[in-house]
Structures are given as structure tokens and as C-alpha cells.
Structure 1
């Protein structure tokens, strides 16, 4: 191959691999930050259009599941068998299928365990030491059988968390295939071993709370843009999943309550008469009704049934299935309406969470569905469930959250808002990625970031004083000012991120909030964001589809924004370097000579002159008056008799437009700005006038397009300015506000004088509980 051709091929591949580092005009102060993303994004095709919409030939696979499973509470094991019907809607022939075995992440031999760093500390717990000394465990999926629908064994190979099933014949386009898998696994102690699904043990009453997730062999995604998504599950990057229909029969102890993805098909068989009556009543109530109340949950805790019941659930067009099962659950429900469709909002929670969850949870679920539906698409599923499980994780129609009270039922403000926030967040995941089905394994921000942004809007709609921690621009400043070796672009794979929460949740949420409030405006943003949700509901979008749709539906060129916020680690730091004040020459000597005299006197001033005057020095021209001539007595600023006539002559020669401008008495201010941080952003200027009034000007980011480092702009004001402030509402995430004002402001940092004392070793520094203290005083 021609060496020059080879060089350019390598160069092109490098550019695509490291697109965020491409400089179109290296060494220059322009031509880099505002270039289009064409060299970074994948090219449009018949599957994905240049507008960001699905193309005319768009396709995606489908997998339907029929699952029979049993929860063995005594032995802490889950056993199951499933029939998968896989539909090859792609144009490609497939000779094998990839299936995800996520529970294998807990095996001692898994990649994530082997590559997990560890270190010795002053205090080492049993779990940490045992993992080092004896890492072997009995965790992970045990595959018992893989067959076709007739029972003929299929060959398979397990590679860590992925299993390849070799087909007996090539599965052609538009064909479907049925396979059966039988498996079991030891359920992990989620609190000790970590992870998303598992059990929590309550030693005080010898009971369990099971949150069963990633629990069955699930089809991997095969897509137009990457083929099989068979990247290993390392524990952080979550899931890429296929839509389909689910029928699940889950056998559990007879006194357990089961909540799950979808709708229960046999409440009449599994519920008591009283609970069934309450369930029917909840179909038309506007306040939560307890289907299983607190007294019944507490009674079940003390009596353990040895019988079994099978709960049957059906879910249509979902990408996953999860459930909660326990005898120690309160369950409440109420009907809510989303654009005329009835949705059952429900909550399941242990007695430890009763005071909070009975008051808030189900109402927060309903609120979340309402706000998210306004900004995306109407919630399409019949059910939305919040489960208190001392964690935070999401699945279609069901999510697991935290929020327990003290034993006396009191709670801190932080716990209250933390609980409301996590419920909004996890219920919100129904929209991203359960409906708008992005690839979490590759791009965490596409579900976590977009969802955190919508969470922020829902929090602000809940309470005007809601203390949102992710979304407001100034909240991301501490992260964006970190050293570069602690940062990576948002467009980074999930497993390679150092500061995961700020990068994948907070920064993209902040970027979208800035896009909505500062760059695009609410009207344009809301329409485009809603269009993205409509286009990609129940489909598999990529980052390019989001970027292109937002521009396509708004007519706003945002490539500079995506490039800066998503492909770089540059922070925002715009400095107001100088302000110069100009006024138009009035050409009226009576006015101008006063100003000229002030300038002349100022120019004459020096320290020696002033001290000589104070000392009473006899100057030479005073001692010898013959040295004085015409100029010693001349008043250079005296207004001549002809001055007014000259001014009238000047004014009469002006055009009508010029006279109008002259009479406006405008004040002109020339401002110098520098882009210290590197991330180009709009310039927002607040003017404070001599009379105390204020005014805000907004300059689009495109002011930086010809010089990305420094710009100068002149402003005309009717009133005299006494102060200028950049970013007065703290809406651009500027990391250094000390250079945002003219004149410069010195903000004191407050400190407290206190009696020095030594806190007891190991003492708690948690927030106080005013609610509890108030009760104690009563």
C-alpha cells in the first residue's frame, strides 16, 4: 500500500478516536472551538439521519421472555428457567447470540474483582481482609442447561459476564429463534457485597428484603452502529438491553408481598380479601391507600409461612424486569392521570421508612410522572413503583430508593430531601433509559445526565426552595476547577471515569440546564428536547442523535457547545479585564472647558508640586515679577464671546439623525474580556447605574468566533454606570468570580472564633435532627 495513503488512513483513524482533541487551526486564536462536529460524530446513513431522527431503514432487535422462577428464602438462592424468543430484525445473518450474565460480576474470578484496586489501612474490616486472604466464593450464575425449543442442547461459551450461544443454523434477517435456559445463583448480601440486586438482612426479626435485579440471562443488544454490544459488565457502566414482552411467574413464600415490573395478573389468588378490596378502591382514589398496612406488615414479620405462592406479572415492550419480595413490606397505591391515562403510582417500604414513605413516596412518584411527561412524552406504562431498599437503582416501572427514619419516626431535613430526590431520580429513569433506550454500558451520561437534568426540573417544580445539588451552574464549579489529571470529558466510557458522579450525572445535567436557561432559551430548548424523546422513545439513540436533534429542531448551531462541554475538560472562566468610559464631545465650550480644566489640573499634579506649595516656597516668578508674561495670566479655559455662536453653527450643520444622537447624551463603555478557562460561553453583563437601577445585557457565545481568547465590545447607556458585573445570576459555571466585576470586589470569608476542643475519636459528624430535638423538648 502507498505509504502516504497509509499515513492518511492512520491519521483519520486517530482523529476519530481522539476527536475531542482535534484542532482545526492549531496555533491560532480562532477556528477551533466553533468548528462543526463533522469530524467527530459518526456519519449519517439510512439507519440514522443527519437530522438526528431514525432513518428510513432503522431497525432494532426484539426479545420476548417467559420466565418461571422460585425464590428460596432459606438457602438464599434463586432458580429459574426461561424461554427467549429472539427476533432478528437486522439485515444481517447471525450465527450466534450473546447473552448477559451480570451476576457473574460477583465471582472472585471476574474481571472487575481482579482489576479492583485495594490497599491496607489502619483499620481493616472482615470483608476487606477475607476478600484478600480467600477471594473464592460461590457467587455467579450457574448455567444448568441451554437448549432450543425442542430440548436439543445448544453449545455455549461463557466469557466472564457474557455467554455466547452458538446456533445450529444461521439466523437470517426477519427470522426468529426460540431458546431455553435453566440457571440458578446464590443471592448476594447487597449491603455487604455491594451491587444492585440482592438481599438485605434484618437481624432484629430474622427477615429479608429481596430486591431481585439483573437476575436472569438477558439478551445483549445487536445494533446498526456497533453490532453486538458485548462489553463486559464491570459493575459501573450499566446496561444495554433489548425491548420485548415479559411473562414472569415468581414463586415465593406465601406471606411475601411481591412488586414487579408490569401488571400482576393474579391479585385475586395471591392477595387477602381485605387487600384485594383496598386495591380495587385505590383504582379511583387521589390519595394513597395502603393495600398492605403497617399493622399487617408487622404481624407478618413475626409469623413465617412455610407455604408458597406464585405471583404472575406481565409487562409489554420493556427492556428489563425487576422485583421486590418480602414479608416485611407496607404497600400503598393511588391512581394518577397522565394526559387522560390512568397510571397506578405505588410504593413498597419497610416499617423503618414508614413515617417518610407513607407521607411522600407515592405522591412523589405521581409528581415525577407529571413533570417528566411534560418535558418528554406521556408516560406510557400502566404502573410506576417506588421501593425503599436503602439504595438507589432503576428498572422499568419499578425502582429502589433510600430514606429511613430514626426509631422514633423522626428524620433530618437532609434525609427528607435526599429521599424525595432519589425517588424523583429513579422513577425518572423510566424515561431515560427505560423508554429512550440509550447504551448505559458505553455512555452513562446519556441516561444519568439527561435524567439528572429532568430530576432538577422536577425538584424545582416540587418546592421553590428545594435544595437541588445537581443542575444549578455554580454547583459544578468545584469539579470543573480540578486539575486536568482528575478530569475527563463527558464523552468518556463509563469504566474510565475518575469522578463518576460529577462527570456522568452533574456536569451533563448542568450543561443541559445552561443550554435551556442561557444559550437556547426555554421555548426552543423544550421543543427540541421533547422532539428527541419522541423520536427515540422505545429505540436506541446515540450521542450524535441527541446532538443533531437538538440543533435540527431549534435552528441553533450548538456544535461549539457540545465540543466545549462534552468533548473537552475546559472550564468557564471569563474575565472582565478593563472598562473604559467615553462621552461624546458636546462641542460647547462652556461644558467642554470645565472638563478640560479638570484634565489639565490633573496632569499638572505631582507630589513635589503639592509639598512645595505646603512648604510655602517663594517661586522665582513671584520673587521677580518681570519674569511673568502673557501666559502667566492667560486663562486658557475661558469661554470666548463667540463660543455660543460657534456651537450654534456646529449644531445647525448636523442632520436630523445626528441631532437626535447628539441630544441622547449617551454614555459609552468599552469592555475588554478574556477567556481564561478556555470554554467559550455567552457573556452576561449586569450594569449598575448611578441612580441605583440595574440592567442586563446578554451577548451570544459567537462573539468569540474570531478570537477565542480576547474580545472587546462597546455599549451605549443612557445613564452613568458605577459598576459592571459578569454572570450576575451565576448561570455559566464560571470558576473564578473574582475577575467578574468592575471595579473589583473583595469578598470577605467569614470565620468563627470558638473554644478549641478535641472531638472524641470516631464521633459522628452527621447533621443534627431538629425534628427529634423538638419532640424531646415537648
Structure 2
């Protein structure tokens, strides 16, 4: 054994120079990075080359009227949905496709079958009564009613029509009767939670809804497996929730009948909250469970909500809710209302006692800096879901507190911009909602309450280790991705580097906001984002998009040599830098001289267009003591040992 160990040690020592050479040999190929064939198609009449929607861009529309009842004794939702569907496409439709996301919880669903034995965050196993029970399905077209036998495949339902829906604005109405049992833990999207004073129901994916028909894939019928989220058409929602009379129902949109479902005192307090920047108690801890807080004590009440130009709605119900609210100030002068509902277990200043303020400040920040919040109210609901977003309502864990609660609320509310306003396809391109949202969340956190929950450490340094072990590029489908965290943090890091290193804040912010403005309430592709940023910033960034989103390339910048002109420091120095990894980025050098003079040299990415090595002249007046690449640690350099070149004084 000892002999083998010694020989192994000698072999390792002998090989060390070769390993060192291998470590310094560049993996960089400029022909791969600066590849002008990046885009696979030209702009067209639907999606322009500049990244905007084209003159013939179309989008179908789905307007919903939903009546649903929460039958608490059976933990059952039963109801019916009426959908007015407008075919604005250029295509004739022989059939329609609807999403049946609750079918994820059927025992034989694809999602249940593909859940690991050990379970995971989006666990869909173990339900014996899960999924939709679909009743009568009918359509009305050209004044005639037809009963349709649906074809259901996992989480999709096809309606094969005895006629065709014509292009360019033809209208059809679909009616579906349905019911489903509410799962305890609905794949971290929804569910029910028992607390001291009742049960909190968080209801999402709670009605059959239209699949998207677009100019890219036709019907987008990817099944709902659990990881990949949602892709929905925009439309107007008019919905009615019948629940036990002792419950409060918090929903997306505007409550239409507060006089019928709230007490006079609660309506008075809401009016006060609508004028108050401080949080107002609508229902206090002491009032929860008392008869005085409900206008009716037995039977049921029906809550009526409306929400316009949205891609979804969701709601929550419980008799255990404490309720706080505060005014939201929007940049256009409109006022809104931020609401927080939570059980007594979540009370307290360091917990949900500040939740309405977290929500209010998040809405105000994103409205001021990116796009004004288009609706009037929003809810944060404490319950079983760890963190999930829907238009105008977000679900967060009832257990979290302090900075974790702030980050959860501002992240989930930030999703109202990506993808609720900018309607990307979450089921295919997860980075377009999670990553862009994580990017804006960082700025919101550094702003809130003078940086109370901000983070000034280097995101690049924190991310480097995970990037070194990254297996899949960001364009990987959600169910295939080995590390879903990359969607969040690698995307956010990429956008921060693009803003702060490549373009500068002014050019980036202008182009990024142009993207939001162009694609609000529409369905952008990744290429629409890339093209808009290129065009509005005035920069060919295809090299950047390729390396950050389509590859797992690594960055390794190095300072490899310093020589003086004529061996005289007063004549300046020639500094040699090398790009050893596959990725290219601009490089910043901090040069320090013996006389304490320092200078920053910023070199653009173009220095790497001719190869992996670059020499530059640096004007000096005394000997150089050190040259450091990326001195502020803004870049995810995988080997910082070669970033510094120190010279003897």
C-alpha cells in the first residue's frame, strides 16, 4: 500500500507542470463567440427584426365568467366556466384545446409518474381523489348550441368541433361544468392549511382555461408536469365565489359587492386604508372568529370579483384571516390598495404585521421604475404554498418572517410584471419570468427602507461556484433542467453584468423598459427580447446572448505579463492579458504604481475578437506594483488566482 502511495505521489509531482500548462492553455475560440448566424430566422410581419411585434401580429383572446363554490365539508370546488374565445389568428380552427391543470393530481398523471420517489417541491403523488371531474361540455357558435364529448389527455382537453372557427375575429363560447377536490399540498402552487382558527384555502388552477394558440407553435399543449409553470391568453374575468358565510375571500381584481359580503365597519376601515400609507387593520387578531365581523353567520355568501386584461385569476378563503391594508401610490396619480391576510400564527411586526407594507412598497417600486401596475388592488396570502404568484394575488408560506418574508413577497409580486404583464411562456422559457423578476427584485431590495434587506455583496462571486458546476444552459426546458436555481440567479447575474459592465445603466434601462412597453399584454419569445435590447441599446449583443443563455461556458480572465518600454517605467508598460475560458466579456484592469498612483483601464469585449491574448500600453510614471483584473469582482471569474499580477518593488 505504501509503495503504491509513493508512486502515485511521484506521478502527481511529475505531472504538475503539465497540469499547470493545461490550466493556462486557453479554451477560447473567438469564431464561436462572435458568430453572426445567431438568429435562426429573419424578422417578419408578425415579429419585427427590431424586437417589436410586427404590423400583423395577432393574439387570441379569452374572456371568462366563472361561478364556483367551496364546499368545505367535502373540501370540494364545484362550478362552471363560460369562455368567450376570439380567434384573431389567420388560421381556421377545427378544434380547441383547454388546460386541465388539476389533473396533475390524478393518481395516473404524467406529473405523478415523473415525481421522484423521494418527492420534491412540486410533488404530485399520493392523491386518490385528485383531478377534474368534467361534466357537460358545450359550445355555442353562430347562435346554435352543441354538446361536445371532450377528449382528455392528462392535463389537456380537446374539443373537436362539428364546424370550424374562422380566422380574423370569429367568436365561439365554451361552457364547462366541473369539480375537483382541493389537495392538501398542490405542488407548491395551491392547497389547504389547517391553522388554529380554521383552514386556509389557496385556490389556483381552479377552472378549465384555454391553451394559447400563437404564431410560433399553434396550439401550445405542453402538459402540466409541475415544474414548468403557465402560458395563458389575456382577457377579462368576471367571477363569483360562493363560500361559507364565516369566511373571507381574497381574490384577484376588484371586489364588486363589498356591501353584501363585508360589514359596515370593515368597509369604513377599507375606505380609511385607501387613504393611508400606514397599514390599517380591517380585521384584527381579537376579532378573528367572532360573529361581529361577518354580515351573515350561517349558510353561504357569494363574493363577486372582476379583473380586466389579465391572463389568470386566483383566490383564497378562510375564517382565520387577520386582514391589513394600505394605500398604494402609483406614478400616474392612480391609487391602489395593498392587502395582507394571514392567521394568528403569522402575526407580529417581524412577520406578517409588515406584509401589507412589503406588498405596497414592491408595487410602488416596480411601477415607478418599469411599468405602472395596471390593476387596483393586490393581496398577499399566508398559507401552505412556499411562494407562488398570480395576477393581483400572491401566496407565501405562513411560517416565514423578516428578510425571508420581504424577499418572498417582493419576488412573487414582481411576477406581476414578468409574466403577468409581459406574458412570456413560462412552460418553455422559465428564465424569462423567474430570471427577469429576480433581476428587478435585487434593486427593489436595495431600495426598500434604505436597504434594510439589501445585499451589496458581489453576486458574481456568490454565483461562481454554482456556475462552475452548471450542467445545462438557460434555454433548457424546466422539466429537463438539473439546477432550476440557474433560471433565477444566472439570468439575474447576466442582466446585471449587461447593465453595469457592458452597456451602462442608461442604455440598459432604456432598452429594458422598451421591451416591457412593447410586449405588455403580449406573448414575447426570447428572440424578441434579444432583438429589442440590441436595437434599443444600439449594440450587437448576440455574442452575449449566445454565451449566457445557450451555453455553459465559463469566464477566466488573466493578467499574464507586464514589461516596461525600454526597461523604463517612465516610458510606460505593456500589459498582456489573456482570455482562458470560453466566455468573453469586457475587462477592467486596476493598475497600481509604486508612487501610489492608480488607474482603471476599461477595455471593451472587442479586444477578444482577434484571439485569446491582448497586449495594451499603459502610461506609467513609476514602477507598477500590481495589475488586477476585475477589481470590483463584478464578473464570475472561475480562477481569481490569475487575475492579479504582482511585480517586485
TM-score w.r.t. length of structure 2: 0.90
1 CA distance for matches of 2:182 and 2:232?
Answer: 22
- Report the counterpart of residue 369 of structure 1 in structure 2: 363
**Mapping for residues 493-504 of structure 1, pairs under 5 Å:** 493-501=477-485, 503-504=486-487
- Report the counterpart of residue 401 of structure 1 in structure 2: 396
Q: Deviations over 1:566-619 (max 9, x none)?
A: 11101111122222233576xxxxxxxxxxxxxxxxxxxxxxxxxxxxxxxxxx
Q: Deviations over 1:369-415 (max 9, x none)?
A: 2222233211111112222225100000111123537xxxxxxxxx4
2:604 to 681, 693, 700: 700
Q: Deviations over 1:22-48 (max 9, x none)?
A: xxxxx9943220112x44444321000
2 CA distance for matches of 1:119 and 1:424?
Answer: 31
Residues 471, 509 of structure 1: 8 Å contact kept? no
Residues 33, 560 of structure 1: 8 Å contact kept? yes
**Mapping for residues 209-248 of structure 1, pairs under 5 Å:** 209-248=200-239
Residues 30, 609 of structure 2: 8 Å contact kept? yes
Q: Classify the secondary structure of the residue corresponding to 1:295.
A: coil
- Whether 1:582 and 2:565 are equivalent positions in the alignment is yes
Q: Deviations over 1:698-731 (max 9, x none)?
A: 1111110111x22222222344321111111110
2:153 to 145, 149, 159: 159
1:564 to 537, 540, 547: 547
Please state which structure has a larger fraction of its residues in helix: 1
Q: Classify the secondary structure of the residue corresponding to 1:494.
A: coil
Q: Classify the secondary structure of the residue corresponding to 2:417.
A: coil
- Report the counterpart of residue 336 of structure 2 in structure 1: 343
Q: CA deviation at 1:73?
A: 1.1
1 CA distance for matches of 2:411 and 2:438?
Answer: 7
Q: CA RMSD in A?
A: 2.5
Q: Classify the secondary structure of the residue corresponding to 2:271.
A: helix
Q: Classify the secondary structure of the residue corresponding to 2:160.
A: strand
Q: Classify the secondary structure of the residue corresponding to 1:677.
A: coil
2 CA distance for matches of 1:493 and 1:469?
Answer: 32
Q: Classify the secondary structure of the residue corresponding to 1:32.
A: helix
**Mapping for residues 624-639 of structure 1, pairs under 5 Å:** none
- Report the counterpart of residue 10 of structure 2 in structure 1: none
Residues 375, 529 of structure 1: 8 Å contact kept? no
1 CA distance for matches of 2:595 and 2:344?
Answer: 61
2 CA distance for matches of 1:195 and 1:403?
Answer: 13
Q: Classify the secondary structure of the residue corresponding to 2:265.
A: helix
- Report the counterpart of residue 58 of structure 1 in structure 2: 57
- Whether 1:385 and 2:363 are equivalent positions in the alignment is no
Cα gap change, 1:383 to 1:357, in 2 (>3 Å): farther
1:321 to 313, 325, 338: 313
- Report the counterpart of residue 644 of structure 1 in structure 2: none
- Report the counterpart of residue 30 of structure 2 in structure 1: 30
Q: CA deviation at 1:68?
A: 0.5
Residues 471, 506 of structure 1: 8 Å contact kept? no
Residues 300, 328 of structure 1: 8 Å contact kept? no
1 CA distance for matches of 2:118 and 2:68?
Answer: 40
Q: Classify the secondary structure of the residue corresponding to 1:336.
A: strand
- Report the counterpart of residue 675 of structure 1 in structure 2: 579
Residues 238, 307 of structure 2: 8 Å contact kept? yes
Q: Classify the secondary structure of the residue corresponding to 1:386.
A: strand
The unaligned stretches of length 5 or more in structure 1 are 1-26, 121-127, 406-414, 586-664, 746-778
Pairs aligned (count): 611
- Report the counterpart of residue 186 of structure 1 in structure 2: 181
**Which moved further from structure 2: 284-293 or 228-237?**
284-293
- Report the counterpart of residue 515 of structure 1 in structure 2: 498
1:481 to 454, 468, 478: 468
Residues 625, 647 of structure 2: 8 Å contact kept? no
- Report the counterpart of residue 545 of structure 1 in structure 2: 528
1 CA distance for matches of 2:69 and 2:59?
Answer: 32
- Report the counterpart of residue 280 of structure 1 in structure 2: 271
2 CA distance for matches of 1:569 and 1:323?
Answer: 40
2 CA distance for matches of 1:370 and 1:528?
Answer: 21
Q: CA deviation at 1:694?
A: 2.9
Q: Deviations over 1:446-476 (max 9, x none)?
A: 0000000000111111243635499822221
2 CA distance for matches of 1:520 and 1:671?
Answer: 25
2 CA distance for matches of 1:546 and 1:372?
Answer: 19
1 CA distance for matches of 2:183 and 2:639?
Answer: 47
- Report the counterpart of residue 92 of structure 1 in structure 2: 91
2 CA distance for matches of 1:354 and 1:259?
Answer: 18
Residues 300, 327 of structure 1: 8 Å contact kept? no
Cα gap change, 1:341 to 1:583, in 2 (>3 Å): farther
- Whether 1:424 and 2:410 are equivalent positions in the alignment is yes
Please state which structure has a larger fraction of its residues in strand: 2
- Whether 1:524 and 2:510 are equivalent positions in the alignment is no
- Report the counterpart of residue 601 of structure 1 in structure 2: none
Q: CA deviation at 1:362?
A: 1.7
Residues 134, 177 of structure 2: 8 Å contact kept? yes
Q: Classify the secondary structure of the residue corresponding to 2:74.
A: coil
Q: Classify the secondary structure of the residue corresponding to 2:163.
A: strand
Q: Classify the secondary structure of the residue corresponding to 2:146.
A: coil
Q: Classify the secondary structure of the residue corresponding to 2:465.
A: helix
2 CA distance for matches of 1:359 and 1:76?
Answer: 29
Q: Classify the secondary structure of the residue corresponding to 2:617.
A: strand
Q: Classify the secondary structure of the residue corresponding to 1:435.
A: coil
**Which moved further from structure 2: 442-451 or 328-337?**
328-337
Residues 127, 183 of structure 2: 8 Å contact kept? no
TM-score w.r.t. length of structure 1: 0.75
1 CA distance for matches of 2:564 and 2:600?
Answer: 18
- Report the counterpart of residue 614 of structure 2 in structure 1: 711
**Mapping for residues 119-158 of structure 1, pairs under 5 Å:** 137-149=128-140, 152-158=146-152
- Report the counterpart of residue 588 of structure 2 in structure 1: 684
- Report the counterpart of residue 286 of structure 2 in structure 1: 295
Q: Deviations over 1:42-79 (max 9, x none)?
A: 43210000000000001100000001100011110100
Residues 187, 226 of structure 2: 8 Å contact kept? no
1 CA distance for matches of 2:280 and 2:505?
Answer: 37
Q: Deviations over 1:669-709 (max 9, x none)?
A: 222222222110111111222233432211111110111x2
Residues 590, 627 of structure 2: 8 Å contact kept? yes
- Report the counterpart of residue 22 of structure 2 in structure 1: none
2 CA distance for matches of 1:469 and 1:505?
Answer: 18
- Report the counterpart of residue 615 of structure 1 in structure 2: none
Residues 510, 536 of structure 2: 8 Å contact kept? yes
- Report the counterpart of residue 724 of structure 1 in structure 2: 627
- Whether 1:198 and 2:181 are equivalent positions in the alignment is no
- Report the counterpart of residue 105 of structure 2 in structure 1: 106
Q: Classify the secondary structure of the residue corresponding to 1:233.
A: coil
Higher relative contact order (CA 8 A, sep 6+): 2
Residues 442, 454 of structure 2: 8 Å contact kept? no
2 CA distance for matches of 1:470 and 1:56?
Answer: 45
Q: Classify the secondary structure of the residue corresponding to 1:527.
A: helix
2 CA distance for matches of 1:151 and 1:464?
Answer: 59
